[in-house]
Structure 1
Amino acid sequence: MTRLRNAVVAGARGLYLSIASLAGSITLFVLSVLSIAFILLGVGVLTTPVVLTAVRHWATLRRDQAGRWANVPIPVPYRPFPADIRSGVTGQVERCSLMLKDPATWRDLQWLFVDMIGGFVTAIFAPVLLAYWVYGVVLAVGVWEPIYDAGGGEWYGFIHVTSQSTANQAAALGTALLVLGVFVNPALIRGHFLLARTFLAPTATMRERELALRVDRLTETRHDAVDNSAAELRRIERDLHDGAQARLVAMGMDLGTIEALVDADPAKAKQLLAQARQNSGEALTELRDLVRGIHPPVLAERGLGDAVKALALRLPIATEVDVELPRRVAAPVESAAYFAVSETLTNAIKHAGADRVWVDVHHADGMLRIAVTDDGKGGAAIGAGSGLSGVERRLGTFDGVLAVSSPAGGPTMVTMEIPCELS
């Protein structure tokens, strides 16, 4: 029974895919060819990015269906657009150029051409094997006779139906096709998606290029991490020298003076003792602040979730924190994620004019995902000199990514992803 149900489901999906291959793929292929041809006339520069974006959405939908319907994973191979791409006509021209230079674009167009022929054929057999059986049964119950009387016989496959006997043979053949469909329909749908994967998946050359870009990015972010670490060490040294160390030196001098005055001028010695006590308290406070800036104790003791909640409690605006972390992540990733969230929240308070902030922290599919959303004025962007650029570099050290959605007028949503496993 399960096999029959799977065959029927595959037949329905095959019917959908065959219609989609004819209607969707043919339409997009024709529009793409025409739009690229019109680049010579100028108008294609504006239409091509729109059409190719539609092609990418169509191909991505098929990739998603391949994974869900046939367990055929197809990675997305498109090169990302640069973060500083311009808007308006200039931006459209730049998008057009970037899309046409992307090898995945031309493979998408090849897939559209193959899908409207080979994709249609592989998909249409699944519903035909089930539906054709119905027609054979209909012929056998008597419909063959009026057809024959009207001027000839009906062909059912290789059987010429001219009598009840041949009609029964047609029904038997239809039953055999039905049984065949029960066993091969899921394989036909899988074959359809395997054909699509031949064109929609990244090639070895594209994967090598992607790997090279990833290595370059990791090398760059590693250099940034080393530079940032050196700068952080210099800051710690400066803070210790100008802050706690200076107070401890002053306290030592006060204690030396007290030792000399304790018998000769007890009142003055008492006054210096109070000053030394104040200096020791201030030095301790500065050391605690310094340690908290290096690695907050709550982060080391209770993990990322509680550290972010503690951070939210100190903010001057209403902040909601939702954490789903059944176990802890590695300490370096925790530290990077914590300070990334801290910097993002600081931006929301200083620049966004937000009244409320939402923080979501969870782990799924081998990724630590963090989303920080505020109801501010929007307009945030990753650019030189912005705090978000520093966050991007910090995450890049761990092969993490940062995405920002911040239309004018808000809201702003900053999403961070770091590949990691829970301990």
Structure 2
Amino acid sequence: MASPRLPAAISAPFEARTWRALGYVLIGLPLSVCWFALSVAFVSAGAGLLITFLGVPILAGALAMCRGFGAVERARARALLDFDVKAPEPVRGKTGGAFSWMGAMLKNGASWRHLLYAILHMPWAIFGFTVTVALWGWGWSLFTYPLWQWVFPAYVGQDGIQLYGDGTHNFYLDSPFETGVTSAIGLLFVLVGPWVLRGIVAVDRLLVSGLLGPSRLASRVTELESDRGLVVDTAAADLRRIERDLHDGPQARLASLAMDLGLAKEKLAEDPKAAAVMVDEAHGEVKVALQELRDLARGIHPAVLTDRGLDAALSSVASRCAVPVSVDVDLPARPVAAIEGIAYFTVSELLQNVSKHARARRAWVDVWRAGDRLMLQVRDDGVGGAEAAAGRSLAGLSDRVGAVDGVLAVDSPAGGPTTVTVELPWRA
């Protein structure tokens, strides 16, 4: 049986997370003073010398130095706050020379954000350090006062902590009641301190992520480049699949059909009955080839989806599922063809997973619009255990959905049921 956990309000002062955050704040002050002093000195020198050429390399070097400070701060946040921020793109000149690099550094927005961090973080570090040391120092000293109260009469020559004294009247915290109240106040500070500390490092997280990481535009460009590569790879894989299906299915069947018809043509004069049998068999092969072509065309883009929309197309997919499927589509209009196609193939593959792996008795498909999102949900009462891990079909689906700014979420505990929810952008 697992031991009961202490309430968070009581356990917070003793958690490793709290002590790591304390270390982060204590180390942050001397580092921020160093960053501030070096940055202001070098940037001021570079700006002052811009009237001559010497100011350009000094200013570019100062910005490069600030990027180095940022690397240290990201590593510190990663080690002590468990907060990982990606580094911005490195600065590269167009031609590769020193002048090109200096121009690129001076025009790089991330470099100036690093300088802004070095300047802004020092006053915040001073505030955070002061508040943290005051709370922790007073809190733990007052909380443990009953343990070290004897120091005052033994070495200082007074009865305890002096709250008031004017030469004739003195008030010391020396009675058992006063000592207990002092310890209780200290306990309050000890319990409150970690939450104040977490609020302070939350601001540090904002500064690190906002000023030392890649910009939103750069992150978005990187994401779009990744999505573009995924779309290209997916399209190439689909083309290979279509080529393989055509080669192994209708193409091979039609080649065999051509040979059978050639043999039937040769036998037509000498053995009409055998030729008729061969033609009849060829007719059956034609029907099978046509069905394979229809299935292949449906796999590329079903005509029912184009003509009648998601409701009819998903009902058609559900009718071919190995388990009974209830389909509920509630859409005020049709989204663009690309989103509609992704929704159709996503539900199709999820239902194939239900047929092959879920061991379910029933499944349900719900499609609706929520604001500017197209929502899909496929549920089954199977054995559960589905994961969107690498190498799984759900991982491939998640990548395809993510390529159009969609989200795929899987809820599939062991023993079931399984619910897969997909959000796609609504682009009418």
TM-score, length basis structure 2: 0.51
Q: What's the secondary structure of 1:322's corresponding residue? A: strand
Q: Could you tell me which amino acid in structure 1 is paired with residue 18 of structure 2?
A: A
Task: Kindly indicate whether residue 325 of structure 2 is the aligned counterpart of residue 319 of structure 1.
Answer: yes
Residue 406 of structure 2: aligned partner: 400
Residue 163 of structure 2: aligned partner: none
Residue 282 of structure 1: aligned partner: 288
Post-superposition CA distance 1:141-180 (Å, at most 9, x none):
xxxxxxxxxxxxxxxxxxxxxxxxxxxxxxxxxxxxxxxx
Residue 248 of structure 1: aligned partner: 254
Q: Which runs of 5+ in 2 are unaligned?
A: 1-7, 24-77, 87-120, 128-204
Residue 360 of structure 2: aligned partner: 354
| Structure 1 residues 205 and 96: alpha-carbon distance in aligned structure 2, compared to 1, 3 A threshold | closer
Is the contact made by 2:339 and 2:427 (CA closer than 8 Å) also made in structure 1? no
Question: What is the CA–CA distance in structure 2 between the aligned matches of 1:340 and 1:378, rounded to whole Å?
Answer: 19
Question: How do 1:160-239 residues align onto structure 2 when only pairs under 5 Å count?
Answer: 205=211, 209-239=215-245
| Structure 1 residues 337 and 99: alpha-carbon distance in aligned structure 2, compared to 1, 3 A threshold | farther
Is the contact made by 2:17 and 2:81 (CA closer than 8 Å) also made in structure 1? no
Task: Kindly indicate whether residue 389 of structure 2 is the aligned counterpart of residue 383 of structure 1.
Answer: yes
Q: Could you tell me which amino acid in structure 2 is paired with residue 265 of structure 1?
A: D
Deviation at 1:208, TM superposition (A): 5.8
| Structure 1 residues 277 and 318: alpha-carbon distance in aligned structure 2, compared to 1, 3 A threshold | closer
Is the contact made by 2:310 and 2:329 (CA closer than 8 Å) also made in structure 1? no
Residue 298 of structure 2: aligned partner: 292
For this pair of structures, how many residues does the alignment match?
253
Residue 59 of structure 1: aligned partner: none
Residue 263 of structure 2: aligned partner: 257
Deviation at 1:416, TM superposition (A): 0.8
Task: Indicate the structure whose relative CO is greater, using CA pairs within 8 Å and at least 6 residues apart.
Answer: 1
Is the contact made by 2:401 and 2:424 (CA closer than 8 Å) also made in structure 1? yes
Post-superposition CA distance 1:296-329 (Å, at most 9, x none):
2211211122211221122222322221112111
Residue 37 of structure 1: aligned partner: 18
Question: What is the CA–CA distance in structure 2 between the aligned matches of 1:293 and 1:405, rounded to whole Å?
Answer: 27
Task: Kindly indicate whether residue 314 of structure 2 is the aligned counterpart of residue 303 of structure 1.
Answer: no
Q: What's the secondary structure of 2:270's corresponding residue? A: coil
Is the contact made by 2:85 and 2:213 (CA closer than 8 Å) also made in structure 1? no
Deviation at 1:391, TM superposition (A): 0.5
| Structure 1 residues 410 and 200: alpha-carbon distance in aligned structure 2, compared to 1, 3 A threshold | farther
Question: What is the CA–CA distance in structure 2 between the aligned matches of 1:229 and 1:222, rounded to whole Å?
Answer: 10
Q: Could you tell me which amino acid in structure 2 is paired with residue 351 of structure 1?
A: H
Q: What's the secondary structure of 1:388's corresponding residue? A: helix
Q: Could you tell me which amino acid in structure 2 is paired with residue 374 of structure 1?
A: D
Q: What's the secondary structure of 2:389's corresponding residue? A: coil
Is the contact made by 1:299 and 1:307 (CA closer than 8 Å) also made in structure 2? yes
Is the contact made by 1:359 and 1:372 (CA closer than 8 Å) also made in structure 2? yes
Deviation at 1:395, TM superposition (A): 0.8
Question: What is the CA–CA distance in structure 2 between the aligned matches of 1:296 and 1:308, rounded to whole Å?
Answer: 10
Task: Kindly indicate whether residue 309 of structure 2 is the aligned counterpart of residue 328 of structure 1.
Answer: no
Post-superposition CA distance 1:215-257 (Å, at most 9, x none):
3333223222212221221222222223212222232233333
| Structure 1 residues 97 and 200: alpha-carbon distance in aligned structure 2, compared to 1, 3 A threshold | closer
TM-score, length basis structure 1: 0.52
Residue 24 of structure 1: aligned partner: none
Residue 36 of structure 2: aligned partner: none
Percent same amino acid among aligned pairs? 46
Residue 410 of structure 1: aligned partner: 416
Aligned-residue Cα RMSD (Å) equals 3.8
Q: Could you tell me which amino acid in structure 2 is paired with residue 38 of structure 1?
A: W
| Structure 1 residues 215 and 374: alpha-carbon distance in aligned structure 2, compared to 1, 3 A threshold | farther
Q: What's the secondary structure of 1:361's corresponding residue? A: strand
2:344 to 323, 338, 343: 338
Is the contact made by 2:85 and 2:208 (CA closer than 8 Å) also made in structure 1? no
| Structure 1 residues 97 and 314: alpha-carbon distance in aligned structure 2, compared to 1, 3 A threshold | farther
Deviation at 1:347, TM superposition (A): 2.0
| Structure 1 residues 97 and 250: alpha-carbon distance in aligned structure 2, compared to 1, 3 A threshold | farther
| Structure 1 residues 344 and 215: alpha-carbon distance in aligned structure 2, compared to 1, 3 A threshold | farther
Question: What is the CA–CA distance in structure 2 between the aligned matches of 1:326 and 1:201, rounded to whole Å?
Answer: 43
Q: What's the secondary structure of 2:269's corresponding residue? A: coil
Question: What is the CA–CA distance in structure 1 between the aligned matches of 2:80 and 2:351, rounded to whole Å?
Answer: 36
Q: What's the secondary structure of 1:262's corresponding residue? A: helix
Q: What's the secondary structure of 1:390's corresponding residue? A: helix
Q: Which runs of 5+ in 1 are unaligned?
A: 1-26, 43-94, 114-198
Post-superposition CA distance 1:32-85 (Å, at most 9, x none):
99874334899xxxxxxxxxxxxxxxxxxxxxxxxxxxxxxxxxxxxxxxxxxx
Is the contact made by 1:218 and 1:399 (CA closer than 8 Å) also made in structure 2? no
